[in-house]
Amino acid sequence: MNLPAEFSVIARYFAPLAAKGGLGLADDAAIVTPPAGHELVITADAMVAGVHFLPYEPAENVARKLLRVNLSDIAAMGAAPLYYLLTLSAPRGLPDAWFAGFARGLAADQERYNIALLGGDTTSTPGPITVSVTMFGHVAPGTALRRSGARGGDDLWVTGVVGDGVLGLMALRGEHADPDGSLAARYRFPEPRLGLQLQGIARAAMDISDGLVQDASHMARASGVSLVLDICNVPLSAAGRARGIDFVASGAAGGDDYELLLAVPPDNKAALLESAAQHDVAVTCIGRFEQGAAEVRAVNADGAAVELGHKGWSHF
């Protein structure tokens, strides 16, 4: 008996990616034994063609970004990644080459991040390609980093540079020069900041997915403290610096950075710098938390107030 095409796609493209617990993707569910004595950290993110990626983006890139945005959430909790489930809703008639490319992208980043596929679902849709991943990581009990741990007196640090994600999207849309393609690459292939060993160093962490100002304000609100942003210290690429201070202050440097925001007591600065150096990740101090109402202010290099916009991304 011939199998319907749906099963053929799963068998050809996705079954080779399966973890042992994925049972060859041939059962109703996966079976896994979580690492003994550890907690599981679990996150889910969906991406929709035309919303989260350009409609003609190569499938390989879509797959890699999908894994990376989920891995970034695992990194933000200070966890190590394990495996994932995938649901994929595809328009009828999407060519085999698309599935082949998508599976190639998954395979490349499975190897890069040492993760494997547990299971999932494929369906048709009359709408755009819609993909969703549920990603699993693990931590020693009680050591996951949360957004709510910042205290007055902690410094706010950020990894890497911010703003290139949105500039990369503009470049792909032809709205920004990108002669060497580096901005587009930053938008397409964010680098989840896994492995930094932040336990015992940072008191709170989260990743920047909706924009620095908006996300930093989430951390201040969750922690019940106020935040003063040193707007001139925010690390930008040359392309970002060319857009001036307002690029950050307006909230326009928003979305798709997937760098980490970290609340770090001043006493832990040396340990943070050492961990970051070991992993070849830049870290920059961009503000400090203060006791008081959960609000965010910004100052320039002279300490003068800078007005903040709130143009962070919202779906509704």
Our measurement of the distance from residue 21's CA atom to the centroid of its chain's CA atoms, rounded to an integer in Å, reads 25
Of residues 12, 112, 279, 310, which one binds its own copies by CB under 8 A? 310
Task: Select the span of 32-40, 157-165, 193-201, 267-275 touching its own copies (CB under 8 A).
Answer: 32-40
Strand order across the 226-230 sheet = 204-207, 260-264, 155-159, 283-290, 226-230, 296-299, 305-306
Q: How many residues bind its own copies (CB under 8 A)?
A: 76
**Distance of closest approach, residue 302 Cβ to its own copies, in angstroms:** 25
- Binding to its own copies (CB under 8 A) within 100-139 occurs at 118-128, 130, 132, 134, 137, 139
Q: Is 295 in the site for its own copies (CB under 8 A)?
A: yes
Q: Which residue type occupies 104?
A: R
Helices 59-76, 96-113: crossing angle, 10 deg rounding: 30
Burial class for 213, CB neighbours closer than 10 Å (0-12, 13-18, 19+): buried
Window 148-187: contact mask with its own copies (x via CB under 8 A): x---------------------------------------
- Binding to its own copies (CB under 8 A) within 232-291 occurs at none
Task: Select the span of 20-28, 59-67, 241-249, 264-272 touching its own copies (CB under 8 A).
Answer: 20-28
Of residues 54, 170, 222, 285, which one binds its own copies by CB under 8 A? 222
- Binding to its own copies (CB under 8 A) within 186-215 occurs at 206-207, 214
Q: Is 16 in the site for its own copies (CB under 8 A)?
A: no
Q: Is 54 in the site for its own copies (CB under 8 A)?
A: no
Element (H, E) at 48: strand 39-48
Classify residue 180 by its DSSP letter: T
Q: Is 15 in the site for its own copies (CB under 8 A)?
A: no
Strand partners, 158: 261, 284
Contact indicator for 219, 206 with CB cutoff of 8 Å = yes
**Distance of closest approach, residue 245 Cβ to its own copies, in angstroms:** 20
Please compute Rg for the chain using Cα positions: 20
List the structure tokens of 101: 């490319």
Q: Is 140 in the site for its own copies (CB under 8 A)?
A: no
Q: Is 68 in the site for its own copies (CB under 8 A)?
A: no
Tally Cβ neighbours within 10 Å of residue 126. 7
C-beta of 48 vs 108, nearer to its own copies? 48
Contact indicator for 248, 213 with CB cutoff of 8 Å = yes
C-beta of 89 vs 250, nearer to its own copies? 89
